[in-house]
Structure 1
Amino acid sequence: MSAAFPSCEKATLPLIILPFNKSTYYIIFLQQHRQSTVKILPTFKYCRTQRIIVILHKKFKKLKKHSMKRAIICVIALSAISVMAAAKDEDSSKARNSSFTIEGYGETGVMKTSEGYNAVSPHVLAGAEYIWKYGWSAFGEVEYADAADITQLFAQKTFTEWAAVRFGKMTVPVGISNLLDNPMDHFSVSLPLGETDILPENCNLTGISFLGSHKMCNYEAQILLANDSLALAMRIENSPADNLSIDASGYYDGKFIVSSNLRFSSDAVIARAVATYSQRANAVHCGAEAGYDLFHGLPKANSRLFAFVRYDFSNHKENCHSAKIGINYLPLEQIVIKAEYERNILRNSSDNNLAIGVGISLP
């Protein structure tokens, strides 16, 4: 009979016959070409390793001692060949998997305050990543707000999933504003000032980073150059469920900043919360937002409409409570149109703001 090996390779004539016990012998074939067949007698049984097919047969005579020695030598040689071939295939696969990707986003808007209409400064970011063989990759990012700036430019070597090293200019992984500044990652027209005011003045520094992931955890530790001195930063993220993420981060340059945030997302609900403390600014910021997709469950609803609420507290300059209510409409996955009403309550005054904005994210 003929037995097909759908994902294995063509076998040559038997190279080795080895006794397994008194009634069972190994016949070993070296694989050469993919998606072919090999003739096997009806009484044969076979198993497959990475590059060697082993066939068990019960009707061979016992081999002589000198044949056994030659067979053992052949087995060792074949094992070495198979390991080298597998390594070569893995390297070739890595080379074939080289890729180049482009990403970015842009957002802008208009806000009405008690002083009149003000434009929300356009914010555009574009990045590119190139991945090539042997675990090497490079990433560059340019940001435009008031002026153009290279915010990230680094090379990375990935050894395993849990161990990688990165060196160059990179984002300090502290606070939710640094990590989730894409317009798709927050409901507000603009990021809350409470947190951005107390984060480091420059959130993109040059240094070396050690990062990786293990099971449900992602982690990163950085040694950075900040104002002619060394700074340390770290972040640990835990995802106990696919739709839930909790992380803690810290930064130290003589004074420290600590932050923690939580993110939850499902088909209909998205919720985020953050708490940040800065010793340098001697200030705290806390914020939370939650949105519900009003189109969830509707037949043929290809777009999404989130109604959301948000609350922020900050004591950077004075105690400020801010409450927002609004909508996010996503006609496409990469486009969001935002509208919100905001009320800020200060110690001796309050103000009301209206804002609309649009954001685009690629890919």
Structure 2
Amino acid sequence: MKRFIIAFSVIMACQTVDAQTAKDSIKETEEFSHLTVGGYGEAVFSRNYFSDHVSRYSQPELHKDDPSHGRFDIPHAVVYLGYDFGQGWSFGTEIEFEHGGNGLAYEKEDEEGGEWEQEVEKGGEVELEQFWIQKSFARWANIRAGHIVVPVGLNNAHHEPTNFFTVYRPEGENTIMPSTWHQTGVSFWGRYKDFRYEAQLLAGLNADGFTNTGWIHKGHMSPLEFDVANKYGVALRLDNYSIRGLRIGLSGYYGESIGNSYPRNANGVDAEYKGQVLVGALDFTYKGHNWIVRGQADYGYLGDADQLKYLSNRVNKKSPYHHSAFVSKNAYAYGLEAGYDIFSQIRKLRQQEKKLYLFGRYEQYNPYASATKGVTYDYTAVKRMAVGVNYYPLHSVVIKAEYSKRFLKSQFNNEPSLNIGVAYEGFFL
């Protein structure tokens, strides 16, 4: 039978760790099938035992006794389709519904001093997160062109809900980098022996979207009908599987961000500075002896950070871009989580392939790690812990529950919460 590969980069960078944990981001099969259909989704309930007032950080003493607040949410509901045309040509797409869909809604923008803004959405977005055509020459050589996932960091490379213990995606990387990071470009990727590698050429990030509380998180978004490509970026990833049960990954990104906007200003700060973005990330996943352990460390640098305040689109209050005063030169995020399958010690449940992971997670992150022109935002420095359970009644379905707490600097109020969710991930056809 002809072997072929249909790859979805939504699950693309997760590779087979060992024979017992063989679900990964590249679907390989001995059976010939033209059409592949899959997806994943999450439904979540949260109760946050802290204030949601816009001034909870600027006036923390006024909000330390504010009531808790709760919410139901559909963070992600995703459908992906693939088709094999034959002779090495294949197609993949992913449609994602975030937080319930698309419509018209109002949002309260903390970064705009608590202003109410009307958004073309209804609690969320509908996005074409992937749309690509691929030519596979061999297992070690594949070229993909279109809208693709950028696998920088653990969260972007492994963002399906069965690839992290917490109810929501790990908070640190999700704060400082786009998540899921997807852009239009060209990718070369493949596997050779114990290595998987990928190199991408992309449209650059847009410095107009950088913020003090999210660093480059919104830099890949475009309010236009196209992605501006005045500047370009390069993303690289390398994963190694030499040790049974262990995957170790290195990834990074480099590109310019100032001037990658529309309309392009030929004068002033927009033309004079480059705004280089450099991100480096190390991550790993270990699965063995009934344990799953994951960890990551990310560090980012932004050149000319002190000039972003003066970009023409950020100065213009009518533009669709962010107008926050300053953005940090540096940002970081690191985290570690570990879970043990306690059902592995109960013979009947082990034979039924049910799993119950008792887990703990600790992370620390700061999107504003260096003061710009002496301006500080101390509430951006966060330490977070979470403990909870993941119950798998079936391989593709997980029920999650966790208690988590953000620890902020002493002048602010800590932020505990309780989260419960149910999620799935799998291929239907």
Question: Do Structure 1 and Structure 2 share a fold, with TM-score over 0.5?
Answer: yes
Alignment match of 2:75 (pick from 114, 122, 126): 122
User: Secondary structure in 1 aligned to 2:172?
Assistant: helix
Tell me the residue number matched to 1:356: 420
Q: Does 1:216 align with 2:194?
A: yes
Tell me the residue number matched to 2:357: 306
1:42-61 aligned within 5 A:
none
Tell me the residue number matched to 1:323: 385
| Contact 1:97/1:132 (8 A) holds in 2 | no
TM superposition score normalised by structure 2: 0.60
- Farther-moved stretch of structure 1 (347-356 vs 303-312): 347-356
Alignment match of 1:185 (pick from 144, 158, 163): 163
Corresponding letter in the other structure for 1:231:
G
Q: Does 1:293 align with 2:341?
A: yes
Shift of 1:200: 4.0
Shift of 1:154: 0.5
Alignment match of 1:257 (pick from 255, 279, 300): 279
**Fraction of identical pairs, as percent:** 34
**Alpha-carbon deviations, 1:190-240, whole Å to 9, x = none?**
012321221148821111111111100000000112342211111000111
Shift of 1:119: 2.4
Change beyond 3 A, Cα 1:267–1:99: farther
Shift of 1:167: 0.6
Larger radius of gyration: 1
TM superposition score normalised by structure 1: 0.71
Higher strand proportion: 1
Tell me the residue number matched to 2:94: 141
Change beyond 3 A, Cα 1:131–1:298: same
Tell me the residue number matched to 1:196: 174
Change beyond 3 A, Cα 1:99–1:202: closer
The 4+ residue runs of structure 1 with deviation greater than 3 A are none
Tell me the residue number matched to 2:85: 132
Structure 1 runs not aligned, ≥5 long: 1-95
Q: Does 1:111 align with 2:61?
A: no
Change beyond 3 A, Cα 1:338–1:172: same
CA distance in 2, matches of 1:315, 1:204: 22
User: Secondary structure in 2 aligned to 1:279?
Assistant: strand
CA distance in 2, matches of 1:190, 1:124: 13
Tell me the residue number matched to 1:339: 401
Shift of 1:132: 3.1
CA distance in 1, matches of 2:179, 2:140: 31
RCO higher in 1 or 2 (8 Å CA, sep ≥ 6)? 2
CA distance in 2, matches of 1:150, 1:345: 36
User: Secondary structure in 2 aligned to 1:194?
Assistant: helix
Change beyond 3 A, Cα 1:126–1:201: closer
Shift of 1:297: 3.4
Give the number of equivalent residue pairs: 269
User: Secondary structure in 1 aligned to 2:345?
Assistant: coil
